[in-house]
Amino acid sequence: MNLEWPLILELALLGLGTGFLAGLLGIGGGMIMVPFITLIMGQRGVAPDLAVKIAIATSMATIVFTSISSVRAHHKRGAVRWRLVGGLAPGIVAGSLVGSLGVFALLKGSALAIVFALFVGFSATQMFLDRKPAPTRQMPGTAGQFAAGGGIGFLSGLVGAGGGFISVPFMTWCNVPIHNAVATSAALGFPIAVANVAGYVIGGRGVAGLPAGSAGYIWLPALVVIASCSVFTAPLGAKAAHSLPVAKLKRVFASVLYLLAAYMLYKGLAG
């Protein structure tokens, strides 16, 4: 697949948009990228089943870069709960490796698309309903955070997202304020991305039909273009996140997720 100017422009616009949304919503941008990269790859002749896997892996790889840019902006505002990052990160790494290195390679792309849609749709519903947590509910202890991190990392490895679609609702459910949850989720995107990328590279070795320039399931040309553009707009999104009211931020989060869940459900069922 040649990296021609129309394709470069599409990937650049995708990078600018996802970088902003990564900073705004703390979702790492993966849930935005996966549907669009799937569409781009399909339009250029990549088999549908493989296109979904390439999209998931490539979008996760870009989160390595967008998470750094986004979390720096959130950290400057003192919004990241670093103690929570330390508690959740070990489980996240373990769960990510299980998901990306093992289960991901075994499942068909259509099945992964359906998993993506169901979990994103569930998370959107939780955010849109804005259910109030019990006043006494708090984050679990060390073992509970490891288990929660494992679940976040595992599901992130299957759908190529930074984990915000699970970690933000989970933390708000445990009475972490929405702005702190978004910022902390952005920080968690880095260990999620690094662990999953390692799994995608190893698990995708020797797979037939991958486009030129691939490292395992990751398509490097798309990674370079999207990541180069997204790092510029992630801080702008983080700044906007701190200027929006809580209710509006949750509705924006939910609305974006509903649209993407519907598209990926269609792709999964069609496949």
Rg (CA), the chain: 17
pLDDT class of 243 with cuts at 50, 70, 90: confident
Residue 109 contacts by C-beta under 8 Å, 6 or more apart in sequence?
A: 48, 49, 50, 51, 52, 53, 271
Residue 216 scores a pLDDT above 80: yes
Residue 254 scores a pLDDT above 90: no
Residue-wise pLDDT for 70-123, tens only, equals 788 788 888 899 999 999 999 999 999 998 887 888 888 889 889 888 877 877
- According to the model, what pLDDT value does residue 14 have? 92
pLDDT class of 197 with cuts at 50, 70, 90: very high
Beta strands (DSSP E) in 18-174 are none
Average pLDDT on 227-244 reads 81
pLDDT class of 246 with cuts at 50, 70, 90: low
Residue 268 scores a pLDDT above 60: yes
Long-range contacts of 206-209 (CB under 8 A, 24+ apart): 207/50, 209/46, 209/47, 209/50
Would you give the DSSP letter of residue 132?
Answer: P
Which range is least confidently modeled, 78-87, 171-180, 191-200? 171-180
Residue 232 scores a pLDDT above 70: yes
User: Is the pTM of the predicted complex or chain greater than 0.85?
Assistant: no
Domain range summary for the chain, segments of one domain joined by +: 5-270
Q: Which of 124-156 are b and which e, b meaning 16 or more Cβ less than 10 Å from the residue's Cβ?
A: bebbeeeeeeeeeeebeeeeebbebbbbbbbbb
Dihedrals φ, ψ of 206, to 5°? 80, 5
Question: Encoding tokens for residue 107?
Answer: 């499942």
Output 171 or 235, whichever has higher pLDDT: 171
- How many residues does the structure list for the chain? 271
